[in-house]
């Protein structure tokens, strides 16, 4: 990528004044003669016209490595049929369709089908428990839910009465097997097969398309909305950062509920006409090395947690699987330490790039680009088209820090095509909450004299657990539903693999006895309600939570307490396998 000096012209082009770069991309992605601009059509139908119908669009690997392939022609056909089904069920443009599926072909058909119908695609984490799923379905005012049948039974069925907006549930059977749906649900496969394909709705670039929940700084999770034009940013970063072309096999390991999967597991590679690889399994070093080699993956997008897990298995394993096809690997979600970058580069034999972005930004904004000198340990430099700054909040005013190496908050100007259109609140789109014309990221960074950004920490209380951002307030709120707990404070405790894990401190209501039995019961309740990803790993009973005079929980005190507890000593320090490469 070129240097970031050209950023202003491109930035303006994304929002208003035309520039040839964005105009060309827009033209390339338009599938309707009248200027309709629909992600679903651009990621499937568009490639048929170019004679790419027989190419594999998506290959899904099942738990036992079974391959389920779907060609561009099939993806285009099935997603157009699903669009017809949704329109037939009464879906209006702008209505939300939530999707709770694992990495199966129906996930991709659903994403594109919802968008073709003019709906807003809202994927949810399958690892979440009934509580967080219920609150997100409610906040999104989802009209339709497409869900795996087992996940429905375990995580949604009991909440139906509390979701008055949810008119239809479409069940997807495991491995595409048809299910006999309960009375208040429909069978996805039967409906899709019986429908005739509908042409994609001619949405406009600014029409809402994507809705992802991120953890809020108050109790409720934040629903972030992106519009169809976000695809411009996905296409350009797919091409320029990952070098994606139709011959590529691109594997993004992100969970389907995370925007990383929507942007880089679905839209970017499909907009580029490449083949998407999706693996059912979560982090599994031995299996993953095998997949990189056997499936001839050319570009790989993963997380620091995954690479750290692979480091623990040692360099010899990496060498025994060394793939000849891989061209580039990158990671996102947490700081990628210098050791991991160097280890990844040696073990995989290709550039290993750190990239930074957020749900609100919608696509990679800062990266160590393959075409530039890399600075391992830094997040890299801003991509052309992004206008970023390091700022300090001075009362209600923002001061932009020009001097290098001063820590401040990372701020981004709106205008980049995938930046949020706003947050969802009570079914309406709220503003993006700008300060002096800047979007504030909540991340503390410093920029060195050469424009490389270095991550320092979060300015807020968010817990970063693996790739997931966990809002302590959401966890506390749900834990308070347990009758024994009077007050709860949840903080992140440092963890070698996941960076932080949620740990809870609680005081008890009268009549309850602190002890191992109650602790086990509350932790089981937490896993059941919140799901294993979000549930606290430890629970400590304390007589009273530390509070400020204003009554705010002092999380810093709890954090200090969390690390005082005897730690499980990890038998394999991260640095040892590095030495072997």
Whole-angstrom CA distances from 167 to 94, 97, 141, 259 are 15, 10, 10, 25
CB nearer ligand WT7, residue 200 or residue 233:
233
Site of tokens 């205008």 = 415
To 10 degrees, the CA torsion angle through 110, 78, 108, 419? -70
Q: Which two tokens stand for residue 485?
A: 């707990």
CB of 263 to ligand WT7, least distance (A): 8
Distance CA 155, CA 167 (A): 17
Q: Which two tokens stand for residue 417?
A: 């095509």
Give φ, ψ of 167 to 5 degrees.
-85, -35
- Does 352 contact ligand WT7 by CB under 6 A? no
Distance CA 91, CA 97 (A): 9
CB nearer ligand WT7, residue 333 or residue 385:
333
Distance CA 495, CA 570 (A): 10
CB of 355 to ligand WT7, least distance (A): 6
Strand order in the sheet with 352-356: 67-71, 56-61, 275-279, 249-252, 299-302, 328-331, 352-356, 366-367, 381-382
CB of 365 to ligand WT7, least distance (A): 9
What's the distance, Cα to Cα, between the start and end of the chain in Å?
A: 30
Q: Which two tokens stand for residue 345?
A: 């580069």
- Does 358 contact ligand WT7 by CB under 6 A? yes
Of 299, 261, 272, nearest in space to 110 by CA: 261
CB of 336 to ligand WT7, least distance (A): 6
What is the number of other CB atoms lying within 10 angstroms of the CB of residue 532?
A: 12
Distance CA 581, CA 577 (A): 7
CB of 341 to ligand WT7, least distance (A): 11
CB nearer ligand WT7, residue 110 or residue 226:
226
CB nearer ligand WT7, residue 240 or residue 334:
334
CB of 502 to ligand WT7, least distance (A): 15
Distance CA 581, CA 578 (A): 6
Q: Which two tokens stand for residue 311?
A: 């480091």
List, in sequence order, the alpha helices (H) in 370-428.
none
CB of 366 to ligand WT7, least distance (A): 8
CB of 304 to ligand WT7, least distance (A): 8
Distance CA 148, CA 164 (A): 21
From 144, 259, 350, 498, residue interacting with ligand WT7 (rule: CB under 6 A)? 259
Of 152-160, 330-338, 400-408, 568-576, the window that binds ligand WT7 (rule: CB under 6 A) is: 330-338
Give the nearest residue (CB) to ligand WT7. Answer: 359
Size of residue set near ligand WT7 by CB under 6 A: 20
Residues 6+ apart with CB under 8 A from 342: 376, 578
From 125, 251, 343, 356, residue interacting with ligand WT7 (rule: CB under 6 A)? 356
- Does 461 contact ligand WT7 by CB under 6 A? no
Q: 368 to 397, contacts with ligand WT7 by CB under 6 A? A: 379
Of 109-117, 124-132, 351-359, 495-503, the window that binds ligand WT7 (rule: CB under 6 A) is: 351-359
CB nearer ligand WT7, residue 200 or residue 390:
390
CB nearer ligand WT7, residue 458 or residue 540:
458
CB nearer ligand WT7, residue 37 or residue 453:
453
From 44, 226, 359, 421, residue interacting with ligand WT7 (rule: CB under 6 A)? 359
- Does 302 contact ligand WT7 by CB under 6 A? no
Q: Treating both helix axes as pointing N-terminal to C-terminal, what angle do 285-294 and 304-312 enclose, rounded to 10 degrees?
A: 100
CB of 206 to ligand WT7, least distance (A): 22
CB nearer ligand WT7, residue 188 or residue 439:
439
CB nearer ligand WT7, residue 80 or residue 355:
355
- Does 455 contact ligand WT7 by CB under 6 A? yes
Of 1-9, 133-141, 175-183, 327-335, the window that binds ligand WT7 (rule: CB under 6 A) is: 327-335
Contact in structure between 86 and 111 (CB atoms under 8 Å): no
CB of 410 to ligand WT7, least distance (A): 8
Please give the DSSP secondary-structure letter assigned to residue 184: T
Q: Which two tokens stand for residue 418?
A: 């995938």
Of 201, 229, 204, nearest in space to 25 by CA: 229
CB of 217 to ligand WT7, least distance (A): 12
From 107, 163, 469, 478, residue interacting with ligand WT7 (rule: CB under 6 A)? 469
Binding map of ligand WT7 across residues 260-289, x = CB under 6 A, - = no contact: x-----------------------------
Binding map of ligand WT7 across residues 123-162, x = CB under 6 A, - = no contact: ----------------------------------------
Q: 331 to 350, contacts with ligand WT7 by CB under 6 A? A: 332-336
Contact in structure between 468 and 498 (CB atoms under 8 Å): no
Helix (H) or strand (E) holding 121: strand 120-123
Q: Which two tokens stand for residue 461?
A: 């209380």
Distance CA 50, CA 42 (A): 12
Residues 6+ apart with CB under 8 A from 49: none
- Does 441 contact ligand WT7 by CB under 6 A? yes
Of 498, 578, 446, nearest in space to 303 by CA: 498
- Does 354 contact ligand WT7 by CB under 6 A? yes
CB of 240 to ligand WT7, least distance (A): 18
CB nearer ligand WT7, residue 259 or residue 326:
259
| Burial grade of 342 (CB within 10 A; 0-12, 13-18, 19 or more) | middle
Q: Which two tokens stand for residue 94?
A: 């702008």
Binding map of ligand WT7 across residues 470-509, x = CB under 6 A, - = no contact: ----------------------------------------
From 74, 409, 443, 500, residue interacting with ligand WT7 (rule: CB under 6 A)? 443
Contact positions toward ligand WT7, by CB under 6 A? Answer: 214, 259-260, 332-336, 354-359, 379, 441, 443, 455, 458, 469
């Amino acid at each position: 990528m070129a240097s970031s000096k050209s950023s202003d012209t491109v930035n303006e082009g994304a929002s208003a004044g035309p520039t040839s770069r964005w105009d060309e991309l827009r033209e390339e992605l338009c599938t309707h003669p009248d200027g309709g601009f629909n992600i679903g059509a651009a990621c499937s139908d568009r490639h048929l016209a170019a004679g790419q119908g027989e190419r594999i669009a998506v290959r899904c690997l099942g738990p036992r490595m079974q391959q389920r392939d779907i060609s561009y022609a099939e993806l285009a056909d099935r997603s157009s049929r699903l669009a017809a089904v949704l329109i037939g069920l009464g879906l209006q443009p702008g209505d939300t369709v939530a999707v709770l599926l694992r990495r199966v072909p129906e996930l991709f058909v659903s994403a594109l089908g919802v968008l073709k119908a003019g709906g807003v695609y809202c994927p949810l984490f399958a690892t979440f428990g009934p509580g967080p799923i219920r609150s997100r379905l409610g906040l999104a005012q989802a009209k339709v839910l497409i869900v795996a049948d087992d996940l429905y039974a375990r995580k949604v069925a009991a909440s139906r009465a509390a979701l008055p907006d949810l008119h239809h549930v479409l069940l997807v059977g495991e491995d595409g097997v048809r299910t006999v749906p309960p009375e208040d649900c429909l069978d996805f496969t039967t409906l899709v097969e019986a429908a005739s394909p509908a042409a994609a709705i001619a949405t406009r670039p600014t029409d809402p398309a994507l809705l992802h929940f991120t953890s809020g700084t108050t109790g409720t999770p934040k629903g972030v909305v992106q519009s169809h034009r976000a695809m411009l940013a996905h296409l350009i970063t797919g091409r320029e950062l990952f070098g994606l072309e139709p011959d590529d096999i691109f594997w993004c390991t992100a969970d389907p509920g995370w925007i990383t999967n929507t942007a880089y597991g679905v839209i970017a590679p499909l907009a580029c006409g490449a083949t998407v690889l999706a693996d059912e399994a979560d982090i599994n070093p031995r299996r993953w090395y095998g997949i990189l080699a056997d499936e001839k993956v050319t570009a790989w997008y993963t997380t620091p947690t995954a690479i750290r897990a692979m480091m623990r298995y040692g360099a010899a394993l990496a060498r025994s699987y060394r793939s000849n096809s891989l061209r580039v690997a990158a990671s996102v979600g947490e700081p990628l330490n210098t050791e991991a970058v160097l280890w990844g580069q040696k073990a995989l034999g290709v550039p290993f790039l750190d990239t930074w972005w957020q749900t609100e930004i919608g696509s990679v904004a800062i990266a160590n680009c393959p075409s530039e000198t890399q600075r391992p340990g830094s997040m890299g430099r801003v991509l052309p088209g992004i206008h970023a700054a390091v700022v300090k909040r001075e009362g209600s005013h923002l001061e932009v820090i020009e001097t290098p190496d001063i820590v401040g908050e990372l701020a981004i100007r709106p205008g980049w095509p995938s930046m949020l259109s706003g947050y969802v609140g009570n079914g309406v789109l709220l503003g993006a909450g700008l300060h002096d014309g800047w979007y504030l990221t909540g991340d503390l960074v410093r920029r060195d004299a050469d424009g490389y950004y270095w991550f320092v920490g979060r300015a807020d209380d968010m817990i970063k657990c693996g790739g997931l951002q966990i809002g302590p307030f959401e966890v506390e709120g749900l834990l308070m539903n347990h009758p024994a707990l009077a007050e709860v404070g949840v903080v992140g405790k440092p963890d070698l693999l996941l960076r932080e894990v949620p740990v809870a401190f609680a005081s008890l209501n009268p009549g309850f006895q602190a002890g191992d039995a109650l602790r086990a019961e509350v932790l089981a309740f937490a896993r059941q309600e919140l799901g294993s990803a979000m549930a606290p790993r430890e629970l400590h009973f304390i007589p009273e939570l530390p509070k400020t005079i204003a009554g705010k929980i002092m999380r810093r005190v709890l954090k200090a307490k969390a690390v005082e507890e005897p730690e499980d000593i990890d038998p394999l320090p991260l640095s040892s396998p590095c030495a072997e490469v």
